[in-house]
């Protein structure tokens, strides 16, 4: 089985001296290509740190990380930016939408980075918003949208360029039950159809059944993994 994500002995220490914080202390993780992995664990255990390293947003302190056959930490900055733009989608815990761009323009950003022409990119982004139940809201600014609507714009942005890996930090935290289930169904469908690999951090037990495997973290380590009961896959 090929792994889209393979992590060995990963450590991350933030800061130095007296303010030093060890966020990861030897993480082992393997996520098969085309599967949906969830990462659960208490606040502060290192979930966001781990997926930031996997997505090539943050450098680890030590350890090996193979993501889609490459190690982002070993790439030159420009290569890494290009690699990420082509292959990775990221749903941030705080959404990180640009306040002066409309919903459709926000969702189109990854396509613009890849050099798509503006109108085509925004049209494609509108289609992605439609699939997330946001038809007709493409021209709204983030400040004009509810939290759950903003979260779905962030999800559209993570999927719009059809990356091979999507990393999501609590993607259903602002969604009601039905919308959360719908978003996860969409994730599963895209994963199954396009061989997309998904790594989803969550506290939301209502979506566990969408996972192929659930990894539990505690204090900077992956301490256990299991296949969920009632899995939909
Ligand atoms: N930029 C940073 N500088 C210093 N310490 C940090 C930084 N980011 C995170 N930490 C610390 O690293 C540890 C892990 O943080 P992380 O954000 O990965 O946790 P988490 O599991 O995502 O938590 P939550 O469920 O609350 O989002 C925490 O102790 C946190 O305070
Ligand atoms: Mg977090």
Q: Is residue 77 part of a domain?
A: yes
23 lines ligand 1 (CB under 6 A): yes
First to last CA, the chain: 17
Q: Is the pLDDT of residue 191 over 90?
A: no
109 vs 43: CA distance, rounded Å: 30
What pLDDT, on the 0 to 100 scale, is given for residue 195? 84
Domain that holds residue 207: 3-226
Phi, psi of 109, rounded to the nearest 5 degrees: -55, -45
Q: Contact 61/70 with Cβ under 8 angstroms?
A: no
Q: Which atom of ligand 1 is nearest to the CA of 217?
A: 21
Asked if residue 81 belongs to a domain, the reply is yes
pLDDT at residue 229, as a whole number: 84
pLDDT tens digit sequence for 35-75: 999 999 999 999 999 999 999 999 999 999 999 999 999 99
* Token digits of residue 176: 């009601």
How many domains, in total, are found in the chain?
1
Q: What is the mean pLDDT of residues 144-169?
A: 96
Whether residue 232 has pLDDT greater than 80: no
Six-digit token string for 150: 């903003």
pLDDT tens, residue by residue, 3-43: 999 999 999 999 988 899 999 999 999 999 999 999 999 99
Tokens of 127: 């289609």
Q: What's the pTM? A: 0.94
* Residue 233 is assigned to a structural domain of this protein: no
d(CA 137, CA 134): 5
Specify the pairing of strand 88-91 against strand 221-226. unpaired
CATH number of the domain bearing residue 28: 3.40.50.300
Q: Tell me, what's the pLDDT at 233?
A: 58
Q: What share of the chain is helix, strand, coil (3-state, %, to 5)?
A: 40, 25, 35
Is residue 216 situated within a structural domain?
yes
Token couple for 49: 């740190």
Which ligand 1 atom lies nearest to the CA of residue 220?
A: 14
> How far apart are the C-alpha atoms of 184 and 76, rounded to whole Å?
34
- CA 75 to chain CA mean position, Å: 20
Question: Domain for residue 231, yes or no?
Answer: no
How far does residue 201's CA lie from ligand 1's centre (Å)? 13
- Tell me the C-alpha to C-alpha distance, in Å, between residue 138 and each of 90, 100, 118, 177: 20, 13, 14, 23
Q: How far apart (Å, rounded) are the C-alpha atoms in residues 140 and 138?
A: 6
For residues 201 and 38, the answer to whether their CB atoms sit within 8 Å is yes
Phi and psi angles of residue 74, each rounded to the nearest 5 degrees, phi first: -95, 0
In a domain, 102, yes or no: yes
Nearest CA to ligand 1 atom 3: 14
Question: Is 163 a domain residue?
Answer: yes
Residue 232 domain-assigned (yes or no): no
- Measured by CA distance, the residue closest to atom 1 of ligand 1 is 14
């Amino acid at each position: 089985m090929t792994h889209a994500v393979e992590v060995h002995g990963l450590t991350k220490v933030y800061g130095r001296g007296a303010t030093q914080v060890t966020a990861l202390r030897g993480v082992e993780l393997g996520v098969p290509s085309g599967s949906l992995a969830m990462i659960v664990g208490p606040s502060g255990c290192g979930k966001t740190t781990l997926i930031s390293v996997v997505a090539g947003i943050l450098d680890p302190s030590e350890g090996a990380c193979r993501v889609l056959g490459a190690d982002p930490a070993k790439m030159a900055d420009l290569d890494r930016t290009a690699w990420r733009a082509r292959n990775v989608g990221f749903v941030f815990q705080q959404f990180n939408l640009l306040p002066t761009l409309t919903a459709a323009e926000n969702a189109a950003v990854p396509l613009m980075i890849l050099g798509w022409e503006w109108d085509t990119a925004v049209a494609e982004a509108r289609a992605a918003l439609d699939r997330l139940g946001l038809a007709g809201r493409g021209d709204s600014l983030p400040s004009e949208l509810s939290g759950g609507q903003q979260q779905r714009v962030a999800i559209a942005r993570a999927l719009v360029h059809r990356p091979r890996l999507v990393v999501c930090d609590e993607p259903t935290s602002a969604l009601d039950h039905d919308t959360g289930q719908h978003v996860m169904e969409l994730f599963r469908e895209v994963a199954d159809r396009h061989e997309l690999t998904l790594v989803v951090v969550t506290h939301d037990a209502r979506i566990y059944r969408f996972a192929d495997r659930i990894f539990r973290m505690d204090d900077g380590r992956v301490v256990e993994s299991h296949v969920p009961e009632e899995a939909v896959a």
